[in-house]
Amino acid sequence: MVKGSCLCKGVQYAVDGKVSDIGHCHCSKCRKISGVNSNGVVLAAARRFQWICGEDLVRHYSMEDGWTSAFCSTCGCPAPMPMPDGKLFWLPIGSLDEYPEINVVQHIYVGSKARWEIIGDDAPQYDTEVEEA
């Protein structure tokens, strides 16, 4: 069981099963929403995701281009949100209460990373999003 929460503990969730390895997005939108170099996320199957409490505290911000973020309306922390297809949930890596044995497996939008950022691992890097096979 993987559990997570926001800073004020008003939003809490659990995943009954595994989460994906970590992906980092380095685009300007993810930098702004996270306040740091990149936005680290893991994915979980929607059928395995459950809100423990605080789903009613989650607010969404959507841009005209369709980019969306979710956050706790009390403390402002990034919150889980379903992916557009409804099959997966996007979980901010910093919201996990404990850290399962997972690794960083990719960096996307590295072509627009901040000039001062240095990526210090060996995970594959993509200028935009992951290329489809």
CB 42 within 8 A of CB 122: no
Taking only the tens of pLDDT, the chain with its 133 residues reads 999 999 999 999 999 999 999 988 898 888 888 888 888 899 999 999 999 999 999 999 998 988 889 999 999 999 999 988 999 999 999 999 988 889 999 998 999 998 898 999 999 899 988 755 4
Q: What is the separation of C-alpha 48 from the centre of its chain, rounded to a whole number of angstroms?
A: 16
CA distances from 11 to 17, 84, 109, 125, 127 (A): 19, 21, 29, 32, 33
Secondary element (H or E) of residue 28: helix 28-34
pTM (2 d.p.): 0.87
**Topology at the third CATH level for domain 2-112:** 2.170.150
